Amino acid sequence: MNSSPFSCKPMAKIVVVVVVVTLLQFFISMEIVMSSPSSFFDRIIQLPGQPPVNFQQYSGYVTLDEKKQRALFYYFVEAEFNPASKPLVLWLNGGPGCSSLGVGAFSENGPFRPNGNVLLRNEYSWNKEANMLYLETPVGVGFSYTTETTSDDDDTASIGDKITARDNLVFLQRWFLKFPQYRQRDLFITGESYAGHYIPQLAELMIEFNKKEKLFNLKGIALGNPVLEFATDFNSRAEFIWSHGLISDSTFNLFTKACNYSRYVSEYYRGFVSPVCSRVMSQVTKETSKFVDKYDVTLDVCISSVLSQSKVISPHSPTKKIDVCLDDETTNYLNRKDVQFAFHARLVGVDKWTVCNNILDYELLDLEIPTISIVGSIVKAGIPVLVYSGDQDSVIPLTGSRTLVHGLAKELGLDVTAPYRVWFEGQQVGGWTQVYGDILSFATIRGASHEAPFSQPERSLVLFKSFLEGRPLPEVFA
Ligand SMILES: *[C@@H]1O[C@H](CO)[C@@H](O)[C@H](O)[C@H]1NC(C)=O
């Protein structure tokens, strides 16, 4: 009774000390976590409606400037099996202005597809073969944002190829700070459509950067239905739609002789469409009909807005594609507050997440910059390049891409190392392929749209796997 309050409870003292020390250690470790750019807070616990999976997912922001006014949003899906032994693959969609999260991850080659309130597994997800990094770029696309205030409209128009390439490079540098275990990993860049500009331009900057400090272990790039040289790409459209029966002989004649598509687009972006081009285009539009999907001439319409990937490369505004699928699953899903919370995403400067940002003020004439020559310099640097085409796409048809690849091979003096032949997926022909100098390849994906992994997921995965492994596409049926 006369003892000091503590004397009979020596244990209590120890417990207090232990608790204090433990708390201190906890705060110190939190401090380390918070002050380092670790991926700790970017880990996705679970996406709403997601089935159980055995791979990790991360998403969040990487700021591009010290004032943190510009930030790019990413979604990173680790490989399903042995992520530590699999390469890192960056995926970019085009537009400009379309989201790699909404189009690439959720409609093409990601692990899930939104369906009502739930996510369904995609059996042919590219994370079977690689660690997939989806980037919403440039700033202003999807959850990526800029809060920089611009005094006049001229400044906002300054987002173009150059800034996008630079921002994408800075993004990757800083992303490696969050994920240092991926720094030395084999790196591939893949994407489609207007990413035919983004990817070569980014790869070129990486090669340049590596001369000072070897950071990017770039092992190859793959470009799907890419814009590489605007006139060749666009003028292959006339023959494609004519040979598929979408326009008459006489209209084909007008579309090649009186006003071709590159001339029309060029006039359109300069704000003056000549009477002759206007007449030809309205005839073409009338015959092709707005009820045919230009991104896959054999597909029925209403595959949701994912197929309206590009306003730039398909700018017929008089007959805007009608979005008959009002309840676009992806748009609904990504606009749910619980989904945005799970993704660590915020809406900054917009009230809604959209598949393609139609207000993005992109430097549209950058479309005319030829990137096929940059592809040439990448090949010359020893980096393998694959150009592949969903063969039902009339927006960037296979014929233009094939011509450009062939022309480049000739210019570089690359011999044909694998002559034009079919390749197989299972027991069926997956498409055709040709290889030059064992480094530059062209392949088609049979029956595929502009978004090849969307309409031919199985064949696309076979192509992707061969590309990563640097192996020829299957030559005989399995
Ligand atoms: C397209 O039209 C432009 C302008 O009239 C012309 O210079 C170009 O050669 C044409 N290209 C093709 C492939 O017909």
Pocket test for ligand 1, best of 230, 234, 235 (most atoms within 8 A of CB): 235
Least reliable range by pLDDT among 30-34, 185-189, 230-234: 30-34
In contact, 420 and 432? CB cutoff 8 Å: yes
Tell whether ligand 1 has an atom less than 6 A from the beta carbon of residue 235: yes
pLDDT tens column, 152-184: 444 444 799 999 999 999 999 999 999 999 999
Kindly report, residue by residue over 206-255, the tens digit of the pLDDT. Answer: 999 999 999 999 999 999 999 999 999 999 999 999 999 999 999 999 99
Average pLDDT over residues 120-130: 96
C-beta 260 within 6 A of ligand 1: yes
Closest ligand 1 atom, residue 257 Cα: 14
pLDDT at position 325 over 80? no
pTM of the model: 0.87
Share of the chain above pLDDT 70, in %: 85
- What value does the mean pLDDT take over residues 324-340? 80
Return the active site residues. Answer: 193, 393, 450
CA of 232 relative to ligand 1 center, distance in Å = 10
Closest residue CA from atom 6 of ligand 1? 263
Separation of CA 252 and ligand 1 centre (Å): 14
pLDDT value at 127 more than 60? yes
What distance in angstroms lies between residue 231's CA and the mean position of ligand 1's atoms? Answer: 8
Distance 263 CA to ligand 1 centre (A): 7
Distance of CA 434 to the CA centre of its chain: 24
Report the alpha-carbon distance of residue 73 to residue 171 in Å, rounded. 9
With beta carbons less than 8 A apart as the criterion, state whether 111 and 102 touch: no
263, 277, 404, best to mutate for ligand 1 pocket (most atoms within 8 Å of CB)? 263
Identity of the amino acid at 399: T
Q: Please state, in angstroms and rounded to a whole number, the distance separating the CA atoms of residues 408 and 439.
A: 12
Check if 263 has its Cβ closer than 6 Å to any atom of ligand 1: yes
- What is the Å distance from ligand 1's center to 262 Cα? 7
